[in-house]
Every structure is written in C-alpha cells, then in structure tokens.
Structure 1
Amino acid sequence: MLRPEHSQRPRLVEIRDNLLDRIVEAGSEGWLGELEKLHTRLAGAEDKLSQLDDEAARQANVVDLGMPSFSQITVRTTADRP
C-alpha cells in the first residue's frame, strides 16, 4: 500500500474532479462499463484524500515529550552499590 504525500493533495483533488466530470459524461452516453471503472477509480482517489486528511489530523495532535537527559534516566548511584 502506497501512502500519498501531502504535497500531492492538489493533484489528487484535480484527479477526483476530472473523474466526476467523466462519470457524468459516461452516464449521459450510456457507457456502463466505463461508469463502473470510473466509480472504482473515484473511490480510490477519495480514499487517498481521506488518508491525507486523517494523517494531517493525527499530526496536529502530536505532543513532543522531549528527550530525557542521561542524569534523568539513571537510577543507580554509587551509594546504591553493595
């Protein structure tokens, strides 16, 4: 499964809009096989757009916890040794 890059979102929107126009044309011309193929492609394009939106929403909720220093994560001291 390939993940789309966020920079490709405008191109995916353009592809989706083009598919919608082609679906209207295929419907008016009675091209049933073409209609089915275009609906499948439209579902794929909308799925990719949904993935991009979901990823953007997840990244907006990311919290930076920082990196602890060595002295913060050390538990043992010389006084602890037997």
Structure 2
Amino acid sequence: MSIGTCARAFGSPCIHEHACVRCALLRPDPVQRSRLIDIRDNLIARIAEAEREGWLGEVEGIQVSLVGAQDKLDQLDAEAARRSAAVDLGIPAFADIANRTATASTDQHLR
C-alpha cells in the first residue's frame, strides 16, 4: 500500500528499493498520515530493540528511516499549515457575470 506519490521519472532506477519513507521524492498523501505515524512509532520501537540487543549496525539504518518518516510527517504538517493560511478568493459563478448588462457608448467619434 502506498503512502504517497513518487515524483521520480517513470522508468528511472530507485536507489531506495521501495523504501520510500527514506526518499526525498516521495510526496506523502495526507490520508496516509496515521499510517506514517504507525511507521514512525514502529521504527522507534525497532531502534530500542536493536540497542537492547546490541545490533549497532541496525540502529544506524533504522535511524535513517526514522528521520525520513519524521520528515514526511513534517511535510504533511507544513502543507496543512499552508492550506489553512490560504485565502479563498472564490471563483465567479456564471450568474455573477450574466447579471451584468452592457450599454452602448454615446461618444460622437463612434457614430
């Protein structure tokens, strides 16, 4: 299941091998926010387990993924803040335009 949209050009190789949470080209989907939180929380638990078991090489790799997951959550927060700060200028409806009437000019040079 996807957590967003990949901005990578179609057919280009992915060095992350589908570990998209690490990729700067992933544009997270706001609907997947809770899933990203679950991923982040799982990574924190995995780091604790790896430290407890002395798997120091694992800790470093998982920390990279944790930074990526937190970055994706920060992107979603920034996007939500931008959207809430936006001003709706509205789009004129046809009725707004159709109610106007045109008047003929009475200038002498136009006759």
Alignment TM-score, normalising by the size of structure 2: 0.60
Give the aligned length: 75
Q: Which structure has more RCO (C-alpha within 8 Å, separation ≥ 6)?
A: 1
What is the CA RMSD across the aligned residues, in angstroms? 2.1
Matches within 5 A, 1:1-82: 1-67=25-91
Percent same amino acid among aligned pairs?
55
Query: Greater helix share, 1 or 2?
Result: 1
Counterpart-to-counterpart distance in 1, 2:38 and 2:70 = 11
CA deviations on 1:28-73 (whole Å, 9 max, x unpaired) are 1110110000000000000000000000010001112234677xxx
Query: Greater strand share, 1 or 2?
Result: 2
Structure 2 unaligned runs (5+)? 1-24, 98-104
Shift of residue 2 of structure 1? 1.9
Structure 1 SS opposite 2:88: coil
Structure 1 unaligned runs (5+)? 71-77
